Amino acid sequence: MRKKIVAGNWKMNTTVAAGKELAKNIVAALDQVPKDVQLIIAPPFTHLATVADVIKGSVVALSAQNCADKAKGAYTGEVSAEMIAGTGCTYTILGHSERRQYYGETSETLVAKMALALENGLSPIYCVGEMLSEREAGNHFNVIKAQLEEVLFGLTAEQMAKVVIAYEPVWAIGTGVTATNEQAQEVHAFIRKTLAAKFGKKLADDVTILYGGSCKPSNAKELFACPDIDGGLIGGASLKAEDFIAIARSY
C-alpha cells in the first residue's frame, strides 16, 4: 500500500520567526488530519534546525528543497545532503522545475544529488513536469519519460522504493491554473506505467505520486480522488496552516 502524502514547499518564503510560527500552527491543528496522511514541510535551509525542534515528536516530517551535488568541501554556498540529514530532515525535494529553469539543474546533476540524498538516508521527492510549450506540442509524455529515465533508471529497486514522485506541470505552478483531474490522472498513470516497465508492477504500485501546481483546498478533493494521485506537493497554499491542513483533509 502506498503512502498518502501532503507536502508543503515553502520555497523562498518566510523568515525563521514566521516559519516557526507556521510550523507551530500546523502542529496545533494535527488532530484534524487523518492518521494515514503523512504531512511533510519543506522550509528554506536556514529554518530547518529551528523547525525540526517545533515539529519534534509530532507526525510532521521535515524536508529540504534541494541538496548539493557534491558530498563536501570547497563549494561555497552549497548545502550537502549530510548536513541536511543532520538537522532532522528525512526528505528532500529534488529537480523542482524552478531549479531546472532558473538554476540550470540538469539530469546529470540530479543523478548525483539523488545518490547523495539516498546515501544520507533522505527520501527524495523527485519532481517532473512539462512546460506549456511542450504540452501544446503534444510532447509532454516524452519529456516526463526522459526525466524519469535519466534520473531514476540507474537506481536499484531498494533505492527506488524510497523515492516519492511529484508531477508538477510547469504551466500550473503558481499560476492559479490547475491541471484538470483528467490531465493529472493521465500523467500519473503514465508515470506509474513507466516505472512498472523498469522496476516491476509491485514496486510501481507502491510509489507515492503527488500532484503539484496550484493545488488548494477547493480542488484537492477532486484531484486526490483520482486513482493514481496519492497526494499533493503544495506551494502557495502551504504558507497558510489553515489551507495546508484543509488540503490534508481532502482524501
| Torsions phi, psi for 197 (to 5 deg) | -65, -30
Residues 7-46 as x/- pattern, contact with ligand PGA by CB under 6 A: --x-------------------------------------
Nearest-CB residue to ligand PGA? 235
Q: Is 186 a catalytic residue?
A: no
- Between 39 and 237, CB nearer to ligand PGA: 237
Q: Count of residues binding ligand PGA (CB under 6 A)? A: 13
DSSP H helices, the chain, are: 16-28, 48-55, 81-86, 97-102, 107-119, 132-136, 140-152, 157-160, 181-199, 201-206, 217-224, 241-248
Select which of 105, 130, 134, 168 is catalytic: 168
Asked whether the beta carbons of 235 and 173 are under 8 A apart, the reply is yes
Quote the distance between the C-alpha of residue 22 and its chain's center. 19
Residue 36 gets which letter from DSSP? T
Q: Is 96 a catalytic residue?
A: yes
Tell me the closest approach of the beta carbon of residue 79 to ligand PGA, in angstroms: 19
Cell numbers describing residue 219: 480542488
Cell numbers describing residue 101: 529553469
Residues 209-228 as x/- pattern, contact with ligand PGA by CB under 6 A: ---xxxx-------------
**Rule CB under 6 A: is residue 165 a binding residue for ligand PGA?**
no
Name which of residues 167 to 186 contact ligand PGA (CB under 6 A).
168, 173-174
- Residues annotated as catalytic are 96, 168
